[in-house]
Amino acid sequence: MDSDFNLPRGRVPGTNEAYYIPDFVTQDEEAYLIRRIIEAPRHKWKQLANRRLQTWGGEMTTNNILIPSDMPAWLNQCPDIIARLRKTGAFASSTHGAPNHVILNEYLSGQGIMPHQDGPAYHPVVGTISLGSPAVFHYYEYKQHDPPSADSGMAPVDITASGRTINPVPVLSVLLEPRSLIITTSSLYSHHLHGIEPIDSDVFSSSMPGRAVGQGSTGHHKIANIDLLQGLKEQEVARRGGVLNRRTRYSLTCRDVEKVANTKFLGKR
Ligand SMILES: O=C(O)CCC(=O)C(=O)O
Ligand SMILES: [Fe+2]
C-alpha cells in the first residue's frame, strides 16, 4: 500500500491531539509482519510480568540516549513502515522526521497495559500500529486533588510511582482495529496517560450505543473514533452493542528518540 495518508481526515473527534488511520497496513502485510514477529530470535523477546516485548532500532541508556542498531527489513524495507509513518507528516517536527525506535508488545487475550506515560526520551508523538486483534484503548488524566477519602464509594484509583492519582474514568477512548494506526501527540502524549484493560473481550453497550462498558464502576466510555472505523464487525458492534473478543494482539509503538549516540567511534565500522 502506498497511498498518501491524510492526517487531518483522521483526527479523532473530541481532541486535536490524536489521529486514527484504519488499514494503515494491508491484510497480507499484517500476516507477514506477525510471522516475522513470531519468528524473531528468542533473545529478542523480553518477558515482563504480564506480556512479552521486543525492541527494535537500538537500546536506550539510563540517561535516555539511543545506542542505535539497524532496523529489521520488515520495518524499513518490505513493508517500509518507517517511511510510511514519515509520509503521514506526524513526525515532521521531530528531530529525525520519522521514528527511529519501535517497541513491539505482544498481548495474549486477557492481557493489557496499565495506564502510564511514555516519558521524556522521545519526541512527543507516538504512532501505534495494531496487528491481530481489536482492543479499546483509553487515555487518562491525573486527578487534580488528593485521593478521595476511603468512604467516598468511588471506584479504586490508581496511584503512580510518582504518587500522583489517576482518574479511573478515561478522558478519551478509542477502538483500535487490527491494521490501524493511532497517532498521539502534544499534551495527550506529554500530560496524559494511556492504557489497555486486561480483559478477554471488549463489551459495547446496547442501551447506550457507541459506548464501551468500562471495568469496575468507571461507567460507559464513548468510542471517540466510531465514525472512522472501517471493519464491518467493529462498526456494527460499536454502534449497536455486543462483544469483540480479544485475540493475540501485537502493537508496534513507533517513536523518535531525540538523542542518538554516535556509534561511528565505537568501532562499529
Ligand atoms: O499496545 C499498545 O497499543 C500500547 C503500548 C504502549 O503504550 C507502549 O508501548 O508504551
Ligand atoms: Fe505507552
- Closest-lying ligand 1 atom to the alpha carbon of residue 107: 1
119 alpha carbon – ligand 1 mean position (Å): 12
Is there an atom of ligand 1 within 6 Å of 194 CB?
A: yes
CA distances from 15 to 91, 139, 180, 183 (A): 18, 11, 18, 12
**What pLDDT, on the 0 to 100 scale, is given for residue 2?**
42
Phi and psi at residue 19, in whole multiples of 5°?
-130, 135
Is there an atom of ligand 1 within 6 Å of 15 CB?
A: no
95 alpha carbon – ligand 2 mean position (Å): 20
Q: Mind listing the pLDDT tens digit for each residue in 121-153?
A: 999 999 999 999 999 999 999 998 655 544 444
What 3-state DSSP class applies to 162? Answer: coil
Is there an atom of ligand 1 within 6 Å of 180 CB?
A: no
How many Å apart are CA 89 and CA 6, to the nearest integer? 9
257: pLDDT strictly greater than 90: yes
Is there an atom of ligand 1 within 6 Å of 251 CB?
A: yes
How many Å apart are CA 129 and CA 142, to the nearest integer? 26
Cell of 260: 542518538
236: pLDDT strictly greater than 50: yes
Q: Which protein residue's CA is at the shortest distance from atom 8 of ligand 1?
A: 253
What 3-state DSSP class applies to 58? Answer: strand
Q: What percent of the chain has pLDDT over 70?
A: 90
Is there an atom of ligand 1 within 6 Å of 193 CB?
A: no
The preferred substitution site among 194, 255, 257 for testing ligand 1, maximizing ligand atoms within 8 Å of CB, is 194
Which residue range is the domain that position 184 belongs to?
8-147+155-258
How many Å apart are CA 242 and CA 79, to the nearest integer? 34
Is residue 266 in some structural domain? no
The CATH number that applies at residue 197 is 2.60.120.590
147 alpha carbon – ligand 2 mean position (Å): 24
How many Å apart are CA 252 and CA 37, to the nearest integer? 10
Is residue 79 in some structural domain? yes
Q: Mind listing the pLDDT tens digit for each residue in 151-187?
A: 444 444 566 667 789 999 999 999 999 999 999 999 9
Is there an atom of ligand 1 within 6 Å of 88 CB?
A: no
269: pLDDT strictly greater than 60: no
ipTM of this predicted complex? 0.99
**What pLDDT, on the 0 to 100 scale, is given for residue 263?**
81
Is residue 203 in some structural domain? yes
**What pLDDT, on the 0 to 100 scale, is given for residue 156?**
46
Q: DSSP code of 246? A: -
Is residue 268 in some structural domain? no
CA distances from 158 to 139, 215, 257 (A): 14, 13, 28
67: pLDDT strictly greater than 70: yes
Q: Mind listing the pLDDT tens digit for each residue in 82-117?
A: 999 999 999 999 999 999 999 999 999 999 999 999
208 alpha carbon – ligand 1 mean position (Å): 28
Nearest partner of 56 among 251, 194, 248, judged by Cα: 251
Is residue 45 in some structural domain? yes
How many Å apart are CA 86 and CA 83, to the nearest integer? 5
Is there an atom of ligand 1 within 6 Å of 118 CB?
A: yes
Is residue 265 in some structural domain? no
Is residue 264 in some structural domain? no
CB 89 within 8 A of CB 7: yes
What's the mean pLDDT in 31-40? 98
**Ion ligand 2: protein residues whose beta carbon lies under 5 Å:** 118
- For the chain, how far is it from start to end, CA to CA, in angstroms? 35
Is residue 104 in some structural domain? yes
- Closest-lying ligand 1 atom to the alpha carbon of residue 176: 3
**What pLDDT, on the 0 to 100 scale, is given for residue 145?**
67
CA angle 123, 44, 258 (to 5 degrees): 15
CA distances from 257 to 18, 48, 260 (A): 20, 22, 7
CB 185 within 8 A of CB 124: yes
Q: How many domains does the chain have?
A: 1
How many Å apart are CA 196 and CA 194, to the nearest integer? 7
